[in-house]
Amino acid sequence: MADLERIRLVILGGAGVSTSSIIKRFLFKIYTDKYRATVEDLFNREYDLGGVTLKVDILDTSGDVQFPAMRRLSIATAHAFMLVYASTSASSFQCVKQCFQEIREQRADYQDIPIVIAGNKSDLANTHREVRLEEVTDWVYCELPRLRAKVLECSAKEDQNVTDLFKTLLSLSRFLPVGSNNDGTSGLKRRSSAYVSASSSRNKNRNVSPFVSGDKKSSLVETVIPTTSSANAKPKPRSRSLIRRASRKTKQQINNASDDCNLQ
């Protein structure tokens, strides 16, 4: 029986960047030019990922700041983020920067959270581009602290890189291997069953992802107990030569550290 894990993906962006179009293109393979302001939409899907059943909650949030309580709650409960701007709108990129600042203020673990910055409407970039891809990558990889983040441009209208956005999020979440060549159908296989229970035998020697939902994570985490232990056992003293070697190694690692931009 397959293991069950869950990830909650929250999509943030300004009004008019077509976050809903990205989701509908990915889930239902449809696109419409009709605009409807989003308040909050939640989509649920299950997928097979090499013996693991992954339950994905995709939360499409409002681009309007009139719902601050809902926005704070969505940020607090997310396991991964997709921040969407329009390549044709400089102001939408500023909204993405504001969204990231909100994440940074509310989540102490923001550097460990998978984040994809998506530049939608790339099909219009040749004639109406206002945000260069280099500008976005410089901001993410050089101006910000080191993040578990990637930058991609896409087009919901032309169905360009839409599946790659979600595959990249799963790779950053370590549900898919980095550089996976699976296409959208083989990498993400939709399950028909509503629920698959976890198998404790497969979890025994398995590293638990930090992005499993809290209720499931508690049942998967195992306590490691040493095979030999004694209440009166005393730690062996370390030799001074070993301490000196460890100290020199630590100093060498610090001296070799670099603060240059790290293109991940």
Greatest distance between any 2 Cα atoms in the chain:
75
Q: How far is CA 190 from the centre of its chain?
A: 20
Q: Work out the percent of the chain whose per-residue pLDDT is above 90.
A: 48
Q: What is the pairing mode between strands 80-86 and 3-13? A: parallel
Does residue 248 surpass a pLDDT of 90?
A: no
The four Cα atoms 15, 18, 20, 24 give a dihedral, to 10 degrees, of 180
What the block records as the tokens of 41 is 């939409």
From the list 121, 120, 101, 103, the residue with the least C-alpha distance to 112 is: 103
Convert the pLDDT of each residue in 71-125 to its tens digit.
899 999 999 999 999 999 999 999 999 999 999 999 999 999 999 999 999 999 9
Q: Work out the percent of the chain whose per-residue pLDDT is above 70.
A: 62
> Does residue 170 or residue 181 have the better pLDDT?
170
| 3-state SS, residue 212 | coil
| pLDDT level of residue 219 (50, 70, 90 thresholds) | very low
C-alpha distance from residue 241 to each of 237, 245, 247, 250 (Å):
12, 6, 10, 14
- Domain boundary assignment for the chain: 3-190
What the block records as the tokens of 40 is 């909050």
CB neighbour burial string for 182-199, b if at least 16 within 10 angstroms, e if fewer: eeeeebbeeeeeeebebe
**Roughly what angle, to the nearest 10 degrees, separates helices 68-76 and 90-106?**
60
Question: Does domain 3-190 match CATH 3.40.50.300?
Answer: yes
Does residue 217 surpass a pLDDT of 80?
A: no
Percent helix, percent strand, percent coil in the chain, to nearest 5: 40, 20, 40
DSSP 118-133: EEE-GGGHHHH--S-H
Convert the pLDDT of each residue in 179-191 to its tens digit.
555 444 344 555 4
Q: What is the pairing mode between strands 40-49 and 52-61? A: antiparallel
Does residue 54 surpass a pLDDT of 70?
A: yes
pLDDT of residue 223: 26
